[in-house]
Chain A
Amino acid sequence: MGAKSEKNKPFPGGIGRFRQKYDNNFLISFGIMIAIFLFCFLMIATGNATRHFKSLLVPAGINIILAISLNLVVGILGELSLGHAGFMSVGAYAGCLFSIYTQELFPIGVRFPLSLLVGGLVAAFFGLVIGVPVLRLKGDYLAIVTLAFGEIIRSVIINLDFTGGAAGLKNIEKHTTYTSVFIIILITLFVILNLINSRHGRAIMAIRDNRIAAESLGVNITYFKLLSFILAAFFAGIAGVLYGHNIGSLTAAQFDYNRSIEILVMVVLGGMGNIKGSIISAILITIIPEMLRGADKYRMLFYSIILIIMMLLNASPRFAEFKRKIRIKNLASALKSKSRQKEEV
């Protein structure tokens, strides 16, 4: 009885300042990321990591950044964007060109973070240029325009000289390490999760849930749509720069429509608006095709089948119930009630 009335209180035990700032979402997402990093670090330090394993760390991390930033637009704001690879590519080219042309000016330790910033800002600028006319319109124009943007930017890059044209941009210093990717993931998580848990984030989710009601409360729809869209483009741009400094070269073909869809699949698979889910699914989508390499020509077939099964599982109410059951909080309370039953017997 006492426990019940306690549970019914608005904030059991009051809400502390720390918990107000850092909710479960925040702490669990950071927990997951730090655990993954420690695991990778130990694997490498103990000499258990194969070359193949090591080669997947950076791509997986880049996918995590892409997935959580796209989730801000698709899951939190509720607008469909099909051009995330486009923002990644403008960021990649801007940041990598910057790093090539300033080779004599700064040492790599300064040049690398600067080029990340340049890539992010240029991508954000493109987000602004596309967002301002499109996000003011009511309706699903964003999907069409971002799709067109991704394709247009690709052919523009191919036809320019300073981007290296179709042959691509070469001689980019390979400076991306899994540690630097990890740091950027933490920054991305910090910014996006903090944003979600604030008056700005609430406004963004309110627009998703009911635009008309949000507007009637004085929420500036255009501002918050633009804010999410530009922020997502910014992180996609940074991911692009990390990508360029990992491979050492860039070609426009890597940033095609399929790449955008792949990022979108990560978001949908991890759950709309679910940042933890995006982390997990970005990792899965990076490693599954690699694990299937042995299957050779059936690889893409298996890959598609696995994707479909995962999507179906995610949509199934039984699986949702199962996930609910295995949540730590619920496990703990189930254990408690069991032990109480025993006492009573």
Chain B
Amino acid sequence: MTILETKKLGISFGGLRAVDDFSISIQKGQLYGLIGPNGAGKTTVFNLLTGVYKPTDGSITLDGENITGKSTIEISKAGIARTFQNIRLFKNLSVLDNVKLGLHNRVKYNLLTSIFKVGSYSRKEEEMNKIALELLRVFGLENEAQLPASSLPYGMQRKLEIARALATNPKLLLLDEPAAGMNPNETAELMETIKFVRDEFDMTILLIEHDMRLVAGICEEICVLNFGTVLAKGKTSEVLNDPRVITAYLGE
């Protein structure tokens, strides 16, 4: 079953064609890699998929629903969640509250309930705490639940961002360089966690990564971007041995 399909997606910033003719198709439960040299347009693809930028050409279909040109909020509700290349946590909020924000549109109560603390307030908050703590446990962060997010070490911040994105219960999870800044041990552990998330939550994951060991280790298929266009795509081992891909990387 196809979860994400893009057809001839493209965007221009003034004269710069940042992404052009980008077509991929991702199946449910797949771990799909998006790689390419610096400035190739990988993050821009994520911004197109999540509605941060509106595409100038092409279409995006999520689980059969056309989401081209929709707003970030609509796309979040439709089922795409993401992490950011430069970590974007709610620094002054607790680790737990960061994850609870991922539940913003899943566990709801109205404004009057917030102000008067009657009705479903306690029940809903308990429900949120329960879901959020379970997610934190998956990432080994449950002991840090009450700390401010900014006090976490770097590697844990990356994990918290993934936990928060998962809290929205997405159909597709986008990870932008999840291993950036991690040491080899942390990266190895992260690989296990990503695989675990895919299996445990039956999640479809599209990830951008520069660490080739991580990509080769967990992605079933990859797509290589170069100067905004698809250089190669397909089975990971085949693409990584493609001479064009090798020159694109070495030619840098």
Contacts and interface: CB of A to CB of B under 8 A. Distances in A.
Contact of B115 (A10, A194, A208, A273): A194
Interface string B111-148: 10111110001101110110001001000001101100
A214 interface: yes
A206 B89 CA distance: 9
A1 to B, nearest CB: 15
Interface in A186-232: 190-191, 194-195, 198-203, 205-206, 208-210, 212-220, 227
Contacts of A219: 73, 101, 104
Interface of B: 50, 52, 72-73, 76-77, 81-82, 84, 88-93, 96-97, 100-102, 104-105, 107-109, 111, 113-117, 121-122, 124-126, 128-129, 133, 136, 142-143, 145-146, 164-165, 168
B76 A200 contact: no
Contacts of A209: 89-93
A10 B91 contact: no
Interface stretch (A14-22, A85-93, A132-140, A276-284): A14-22
B72 A205 contact: no
A194 B104 contact: no
Given A205-B93, A206-B93, A218 B88 contact: no
Nearest to A272: B92
A213 B143 contact: no
Given A203-B101, A206-B93, A213 B84 contact: yes
Contacts of B124: 199
Contact of B143 (A10, A214, A218): A10
A202 to B, nearest CB: 6
Contacts of A11: 145-146
B100 to A, nearest CB: 6
A194 B116 contact: yes
27 contacts: A10-B96, A10-B133, A10-B142, A10-B146, A15-B129, A17-B126, A190-B115, A191-B115, A194-B116, A199-B100, A199-B128, A201-B114, A202-B100, A203-B104, A209-B92, A209-B93, A212-B84, A214-B101, A215-B73, A215-B76, A216-B72, A217-B102, A217-B165, A218-B105, A219-B101, A219-B104, A273-B92
A217 B81 contact: yes
Contacts of A201: 114
Given A15-B129, A20-B126, A220-B73, A213 B89 contact: yes
Contacts of B107: 199
Given A199-B114, A210-B91, A213-B90, 15 more contacts: A10-B143, A17-B122, A17-B126, A21-B117, A198-B117, A200-B111, A201-B114, A202-B93, A202-B97, A206-B101, A216-B72, A216-B165, A217-B105, A218-B73, A219-B101
A206 B90 contact: yes
B137 to A, nearest CB: 9
A8 interface: yes
Interface residues of A, number: 35
A200 B145 CA distance: 20
A210 B88 contact: yes
Nearest to A22: B117
Given A198-B121, A200-B111, A217 B133 contact: no
Nearest to A201: B114
B98 to A, nearest CB: 8
Given A210-B89, A213-B88, A195 B122 contact: no
Going nearest first, the 8 A-B pairs with the smallest beta carbon separation are: A198-B114, A218-B76, A213-B88, A209-B90, A10-B145, A218-B105, A17-B122, A200-B114
A194 B117 contact: yes
Contacts of A195: 114-115
Interface in A150-167: none
